Structure 1
Amino acid sequence: MGMNHQETAAKHTAVDPDLDRDSLATEYFSLLPYDPYPVQEEAMLAYFAGDPGLGDQGVLICAPTGTGKTMIAEAAVYEALRTGRRMYYTTPLIALTDQKLDELRESAVRWGFPADSVGLVTGNRRVNGDAPVLVVVAEILLNRLLNPEAFDFSDVTSVVMDEFHSFNDPERGIVWELTLALLPPHIRTMLLSATVGNSLEFTSWLSRAHNRRLQLVSGDERKVPLQYEWIGDEILNDFAEKIAAGDDELRRTPSLVFCFSRSQCWTVAEMLKGKSLIDKDRQAELADYLNAADMAAGAGPKLKQILMRGVGVHHAGVMPRYRRMVEELFQRKLLAMCVCTETLAAGINLPARSVVLPSLLKGPKDKRKLVDTASAQQIFGRAGRPQYDDRGFVYALAHEDDVKLNKWREKYDSIPEDTKDPGLLKAKKQLKKKMPKRRSGETYWTEQQFLQLQEAASADLSSRGQLPWRLLAYMLGKDASVAPLRELVSKRLLTPKKIEEGQRELNRMLITMWQANYLSLDPKPTPAADPGKTKTDSGKKTEASQAEPPPATGGLFGEILDQMREDEPAAQPDAVEQPESDEEDQPRIKQYDLDAYRPLTATPTPRLERLVHLRSINPLFGVYMADLLATADPEERIAAFESVLEVPGTVARFTRMPRIEDMPPGTLATTRLDPQLLKLGLATPEELGAQGGEDDEEVKDRGFGRVMFEEPRVWPLTIGEKIHRLFQNDYPTVQGVRVRPVWIVGELLNYDGDFNKYVTTKKLQKEEGILLRHCLRMILFLDEMANVPPENTTVETWEDTLDDLADILTESCRNADPQTTEEVLSHNENLEDTLISSGRRQN
């Protein structure tokens, strides 16, 4: 460009609130380190040329991964800094915020502004939170928009929403949707997305539903084009060595090797560490770095061996401090390959020349299916570095069985069918006998499927998920009118039928909260026309929960249950609308007309405030559980809390609750839960720990190392499962509440909080990152639960015990990974920013 960037930047560091947009554009283009790609230039010009006063409120950029959308986004950052205004840069993942913070700080300094003009706020961490440019997770921005009295948006010039295709996320997409609906008109919006199938329809919907008009800029070409290759005749080990060989120009590394499970990552990395993948110079520099690093704990020694050979491992099971090492080494080009899960494709910047897929299938062994198109295209897009490569390489390898078959076929076909040579005829006959075969029960993928993933149309954007319970409680706490909620549902990007279902779901949620005494509704709900039956969403009719007494159970246990039922007072025709204050009474569900009901107001009761404190789990279940746990033993309380913090099944199977013989039911279970479950017919005696017959023949279950029986053994319910069953009985309309019993924190305490000793003794080093995250989430959850104390408890009996446990866990986590622990637990400074949890989706 011919101009010294430092000299140019020095001219523009002064703040000028009256600088016109044409001058801003000219300045920003002069500061670019290299000429922009056409789609980048078009997008930046569209952003600077638009005038909010004339109804132009920003731009939607749809372009493939690897198009350099960060350069486009930084135009809005430069505008805010140069004009002395403020802006937000949002990402969908906490894992991306640190990276964006570093990138934007580097750019700010390059432009002549101080690094601390860029800050960060997530639900877990704050860095210079008063900076004019803030990197935030999407939930933080929504939280602030919902609190206009606490957060002023009058001087905010723009909002950038990176990875905007997260609008399609079934759990968190609604955060992006509500944010767009609530943004003040004067704020310009820049949405950065991978290619979208219905981009025109989306911008039309945004204009029609929310009066926000965006220019659409789309492109299909990448700055660094991709070259796809199907590798049908080589296994991964040999292929990796092949693409790592040669000089800088010939090598296809650094490479990201994507696996669809954490265990597969370790298996592949172990295989690759025996190969020659890096040269002597990089090997020496790598050794110096690793020998100076502290990698003695947990998976550190194993990872160090792998890293020494130029191979990294990056997934949620790796401790965060080790993941940071892998990222640094890869960015310094000291690693030839990084074996990772697909989460890395979501935007973490590990520039690679190539991407390798050892498989195109994901899921459990018996349920494997082709990776979805959106994920595959995100993965493909990580190949090719604009600063270094003229193309990116995407390699998909055939199954090793097919590789053997292909190599056999090549040998077999090399012998002519019409040969007369006796030796060749004999060789061909012997080859035919040794023909490799595909295994029965194994799932395979094909070159055609690889091509299908490359050419598949981009996904359409549409509204996903329902209004979160906590958000609904919060909004009603601000305004009891139901009309805004009804209008919000009607404006969602859905078909008319889906919108109708959404209105029914809103009614169901309001009625559920009314029956649980969180709201008073005006007018009150109308009972369904047939009190004995109700229509389900599919149109079928099912018996209402209180239409008639349950049938006799039969057997000795059935006789006891039937006698208990006979001793109860007869059920009344009408369900109780509000629960009594007696703690034994639970909300009772009655069927109401969900189609025609239109409440005008939903006025909070004092109970509603309890829901707003719970961010980590469904708040209805959290409050329900808290009220039950007032009389629980310490072990029961820990087990109940752990069961609601989602842990991957592959980790849960190795961190199971102790057997009932080793941890008998505690006070809460024996005095309240078990009798209630029996009385309501929600559990059998065997599920509550009653022993089966003594003559059952034992059979070893090889999968889990348990003793099974010819008659299927009934595994006793854990404390979390017991609470969940009661909750489902009392709140049958609340969907999506899950528990998975684990004993991680409880077991860690048995090791005096020594995290490394725990994971090493239990041989859980390969999952230690997930275990650390679980403990950190437990600390945050304990803080939330301390805010919803059960009735008739004191600070000493409730909050103090939770605080004591949190202190022990904090020290344990701090000893294991001090930086990550401090980052996560600094959330206590940011409670006003955490209306919706932003910590579930992490890499």
Structure 2
Amino acid sequence: MTGDFTPDMVALLSADIIISTPEKWDGISRSWHSRSYVMKVGLMILDEIHLLGADRGPILEVIVSRMRYISSQTERSIRFVGLSTALANARDLADWLGVRDDGLFNFKPSVRPVPLEVHIQGYPGKFYCPRMNSMNKPAYAAICTHSPDKPVLIFVSSRRQTRLTALDLIQLAASDEKPTQFLSMADNSLDMILSQVTDSNLRHTLQFGIGLHHAGLNDRDRSLVEELFSNNKIQVLVCTSTLAWGVNLPAHLVIIKGTEYYDGKTKRYVDYVITDILQMMGRAGRPQYDQHGKAVILVHEPKKSFYKKFLYEPFPVESNLREHLHDHINAEIVSSTIGNKEEAIIYLTWTYLYRRL
């Protein structure tokens, strides 16, 4: 179940497994009294549960808290399985989920299917755009050094940066007298593909084996780029950070070009949350092809030591519910889960926020 698709009631009642986004399950489980399939849930698997501290965290926290509350009211036990990156306070999370000591497994960050080699490079410069521009040559050097003939993902903060980065890579490759080193297609195949591309910037960069991927592309262009990259027709894909969450396109080398993005709400550049950085890094290393993956992180020089610490050590997960608590309390009041002050306090005791106070 997603915001775009909800199966009919017959399908839900007869299903043994329901796969849902947190937002969709939040909306459905609010009216749990009248929905038998919600009360019949016996196992809940939560992917990326370390995102509790991120923007979507409050919804994730609320659906777990609600399901635990439902379990206590119906006296039907629900087993919770939380999947996350390595955590510094995994015991706190396990206590909230009702997980016993023998059910808690907290591996080191280095434990992954494909070992990851990480390089962090700092760059000076007070102003964002010149600093991003200064990172293009090191990004090209990283490709030549770490992944000269294997797939490369470059994460940037905006659509504009995808274009500017790709154009600089084309120029740098041309100055090396290898303008099409990232392309693995015959001319006739390339011409046929280019005739299908709508976006003019993408059409230009594809001629040099570099793809663009961002929300401004139409579905057809985006699908075409994903197919070309996954089939090794183009070697480099310059994309915005949303690709780290939405599409499974692993690469041998991941380059994170800058750890800041422009926040339209605050009208300033802010840092990605550490979980976003980890998610981007997680695209490095293809289990079926690579014995190890590589990630190169290009950061503002003053932040280099911060990323060295948190990328090599587990980080703690905190609740982000407090800022949004009024919205969720009101939702529970409307759905009749909360009817008075005492019930509101009882409801709060089921949250992760309560355990972290």
Match of 1:315 among 214, 237, 245: 214
Partner Cα separation in structure 2 for residue 358 and residue 487 of structure 1: 46
Partner Cα separation in structure 1 for residue 4 and residue 40 of structure 2: 26
Aligned amino acid, residue 203 of structure 1: A
1:409-463 CA distance string (max 9 Å, x none): xxxxxxxxxxxxxxxxxxxxxxxxxxxxxxxxxx755754553443354132325
Is 1:124 equivalent to 2:4 in the alignment?
yes
* Aligned residue runs from structure 1 range 689-700, under 5 A: none
Provide the residue aligned with 1:251 in structure 2. 148
Gapped runs of 5+ residues in structure 2?
Answer: 124-132, 174-178
Provide the residue aligned with 1:218 in structure 2. 106
Equivalenced residues, count = 322
1:786-826 CA distance string (max 9 Å, x none): xxxxxxxxxxxxxxxxxxxxxxxxxxxxxxxxxxxxxxxxx
Partner Cα separation in structure 2 for residue 308 and residue 315 of structure 1: 18
Provide the residue aligned with 1:161 in structure 2. 46
Tell whether the 8 Å contact from 1:245 to 1:277 is kept in structure 2 after alignment: no
Partner Cα separation in structure 1 for residue 240 and residue 153 of structure 2: 10
Is 1:485 equivalent to 2:344 in the alignment?
yes
Provide the residue aligned with 1:357 in structure 2. 256
Is 1:134 equivalent to 2:134 in the alignment?
no
Secondary structure at the aligned position of 1:355 is classed as strand
Q: 1:270 to 1:232 in 2, by over 3 A?
A: same
Q: 1:260 to 1:132 in 2, by over 3 A?
A: same
Q: Which has the higher contact order (CA 8 A, sep 6+)?
A: 2
* Aligned residue runs from structure 1 range 457-472, under 5 A: 457-464=314-321, 465-467=323-325, 469=327, 472=330
Is 1:177 equivalent to 2:76 in the alignment?
no
Deviation at 1:224, TM superposition (A): 1.2
Match of 1:378 among 279, 286, 289: 279
Match of 2:82 among 184, 191, 196: 191
Q: 1:150 to 1:383 in 2, by over 3 A?
A: same
Deviation at 1:344, TM superposition (A): 2.4
Match of 2:118 among 228, 245, 248: 228
Q: 1:286 to 1:225 in 2, by over 3 A?
A: farther
Secondary structure at the aligned position of 1:217 is classed as coil
Aligned amino acid, residue 151 of structure 2: P
Secondary structure at the aligned position of 1:282 is classed as coil
Q: 1:331 to 1:289 in 2, by over 3 A?
A: farther
Partner Cα separation in structure 2 for residue 175 and residue 280 of structure 1: 43
Aligned amino acid, residue 459 of structure 1: P
1:553-585 CA distance string (max 9 Å, x none): xxxxxxxxxxxxxxxxxxxxxxxxxxxxxxxxx
Aligned amino acid, residue 155 of structure 2: F
Deviation at 1:125, TM superposition (A): 2.1
Deviation at 1:138, TM superposition (A): 0.9
Aligned amino acid, residue 327 of structure 2: W
1:135-168 CA distance string (max 9 Å, x none): 2111222333233323424654422211112222
Deviation at 1:216, TM superposition (A): 1.1
Provide the residue aligned with 1:324 in structure 2. 223
Aligned amino acid, residue 185 of structure 2: R
Deviation at 1:284, TM superposition (A): 4.3
Secondary structure at the aligned position of 2:289 is classed as coil
Tell whether the 8 Å contact from 1:286 to 1:334 is kept in structure 2 after alignment: no
Q: 1:490 to 1:307 in 2, by over 3 A?
A: same
Secondary structure at the aligned position of 2:81 is classed as strand
Partner Cα separation in structure 2 for residue 179 and residue 213 of structure 1: 21
Tell whether the 8 Å contact from 1:237 to 1:272 is kept in structure 2 after alignment: yes
Deviation at 1:200, TM superposition (A): 0.5
Partner Cα separation in structure 2 for residue 151 and residue 307 of structure 1: 52
Provide the residue aligned with 1:641 in structure 2. none
Provide the residue aligned with 1:707 in structure 2. none
Aligned amino acid, residue 353 of structure 1: H
* Aligned residue runs from structure 1 range 45-56, under 5 A: none
Provide the residue aligned with 2:289 in structure 1. 388
Partner Cα separation in structure 1 for residue 147 and residue 210 of structure 2: 19
Q: 1:494 to 1:330 in 2, by over 3 A?
A: same
- TM-score normalised to structure 1 length: 0.34
Deviation at 1:199, TM superposition (A): 0.7
Q: 1:397 to 1:474 in 2, by over 3 A?
A: closer
Partner Cα separation in structure 1 for residue 225 and residue 7 of structure 2: 23
Q: 1:229 to 1:289 in 2, by over 3 A?
A: farther
Partner Cα separation in structure 2 for residue 285 and residue 279 of structure 1: 17
Please report the RMSD computed on the Cα atoms of aligned residues, expressed in angstroms: 3.6
Match of 2:237 among 328, 335, 338: 338
Aligned amino acid, residue 65 of structure 2: A
1:67-107 CA distance string (max 9 Å, x none): xxxxxxxxxxxxxxxxxxxxxxxxxxxxxxxxxxxxxxxxx
Match of 1:265 among 140, 162, 171: 162
Tell whether the 8 Å contact from 2:182 to 2:210 is kept in structure 1 after alignment: no
Match of 2:308 among 451, 472, 478: 451
Q: 1:308 to 1:188 in 2, by over 3 A?
A: farther
Partner Cα separation in structure 1 for residue 194 and residue 169 of structure 2: 21
Q: Taking every aligned residue pair, what percent have the same amino acid on both sides?
A: 25
- Bigger Rg over Cα: 1
Aligned amino acid, residue 217 of structure 1: F
Aligned amino acid, residue 125 of structure 1: F
Q: 1:285 to 1:122 in 2, by over 3 A?
A: farther
1:334-367 CA distance string (max 9 Å, x none): 2212212223223631111111133344447x95
* Aligned residue runs from structure 1 range 511-526, under 5 A: none
Partner Cα separation in structure 1 for residue 334 and residue 298 of structure 2: 54
Tell whether the 8 Å contact from 1:241 to 1:277 is kept in structure 2 after alignment: no
Partner Cα separation in structure 1 for residue 193 and residue 229 of structure 2: 13
Tell whether the 8 Å contact from 1:361 to 1:445 is kept in structure 2 after alignment: no
Deviation at 1:268, TM superposition (A): 0.8
Q: 1:304 to 1:462 in 2, by over 3 A?
A: same
Secondary structure at the aligned position of 1:141 is classed as helix
Provide the residue aligned with 1:494 in structure 2. 353
Provide the residue aligned with 1:203 in structure 2. 94
* Aligned residue runs from structure 1 range 71-110, under 5 A: none
Tell whether the 8 Å contact from 2:166 to 2:238 is kept in structure 1 after alignment: yes
Q: 1:158 to 1:228 in 2, by over 3 A?
A: same
Provide the residue aligned with 1:720 in structure 2. none
